[in-house]
Amino acid sequence: MPLPIRVRAVVPPPGDGASARGGVSRSLSFGLKAFVSGALLVYQLARVGVSEVGGVLTRTSVPLLLTAFALYVASHLLNAYRWNVYSISFGFSAPLRRFVGLYYAGLLLNLFAPGTVLGDFSRGLGLAAGERRAAALASVASHRITGMVALLCLVGACVQVQRVELGLPTVVEHAAWALPLLAVVLLIWLPPALSGMKMAGRTVEIPAGWPAATALTLLMAVLYHGLQVASAYVLAVSLGGVSVTALVFVTLVPLVNMAGAMPFSVSGIGVRESAYEVLLGMVGVPRESAVALGLLGTVLVVATGLLGLPALLSSRSEGNRKGPD
């Protein structure tokens, strides 16, 4: 029977002293990340110049900015559908709009809440709705890890193609060969790791359709990253001062995304701007234009995360009406 059409972003309730200490630890971690993000932004703006960066931003083409935003949102809609495909292989059946609501609510939690996986944990529990939690979380883990596998392969391949034009050091070229190998290791490790997951006394069983779902979602993950590259390129064109070919962005954007995914900043804020300055500087882009591009990228990330606010508020309102289970 299909699951009820509702979005529930589940956040674990506070518990005993251990839970409280965990909450303090997560809050301190978030505070440290916020400090790192803020410090990096202040450093970049002070070094490059606020007026110079502001001058670049004032020349932004609004229609192209909106186009870049639409491409970025489309990439996440595709990513939500990719999770839907994985969840079907685990036996979950629900309308696509429910997956989209859960996905965007999780995106918002990952953006602002302490910790880096709270949103993923929340959408897994929301999908389970109190039943088959281990399988729901396994679908989220599969979705996350195969997305990273596609990113590693894309970065490794693009670095080899663009190494001369970008003038990358030899050590980076050699290190890039290891990324596809790491991706293969992750794919081999994933099924036994998922099989070992336990929750509520139940163990995850890898479904028969998992390999086919993995192959399909890997292809979709490449398309997801392609849409993100297209969004960043259109964003650069909107500034008018970034004269770099689209092929260069195919290499740079995955590298920036990998840097932004590192768990020492808030959603890559500050890191994204620094990464664009360093990488675009290799191909002659002025620092103020690179930092401005990073700032606009951060605006897209935050704006897209805020699209999950209605779904999150709706789930909280529904939870309040129902009361405790």
Q: State the total domains in the chain.
A: 1
Could you tell me if residue 112 is inside a domain? yes
Average pLDDT of the chain is 81
Could you tell me if residue 215 is inside a domain? yes
Give the per-residue pLDDT at 113: 65
- How many CB atoms lie under 10 A from the CB of residue 296? 24
Q: Give me the residues paired with residue 198 across strands.
A: 203
Q: Which of 19-28, 223-232, 281-290, 308-317 holds the top average pLDDT?
A: 223-232
pLDDT of 97 > 70? The answer is yes
CB 119 within 8 A of CB 107: yes
Could you tell me if residue 108 is inside a domain? yes
Number of H helices, E strands in the chain: 12, 2
pTM value is 0.82
pLDDT of 165 > 80? The answer is no
Reference 269, options 30, 29, 31, 38; nearest CA is: 38
8-state DSSP, 114 = S
Could you tell me if residue 121 is inside a domain? yes
Could you tell me if residue 15 is inside a domain? no
Could you tell me if residue 12 is inside a domain? no
Could you tell me if residue 223 is inside a domain? yes
Which domain range does residue 249 map to?
50-307
CA distance 72 to 228: 6
By mean pLDDT, which of 40-49, 172-181, 213-222, 311-320 is the weakest?
311-320
Angle at 277 between CA 271 and CA 279, to 5 degrees: 95
Could you tell me if residue 130 is inside a domain? yes
Residue 250: partners with Cβ closer than 8 Å, 6 or more residues away: 158, 162, 229
Proportion of the chain in helix, strand, coil states, percent, rounded to 5: 75, 0, 25
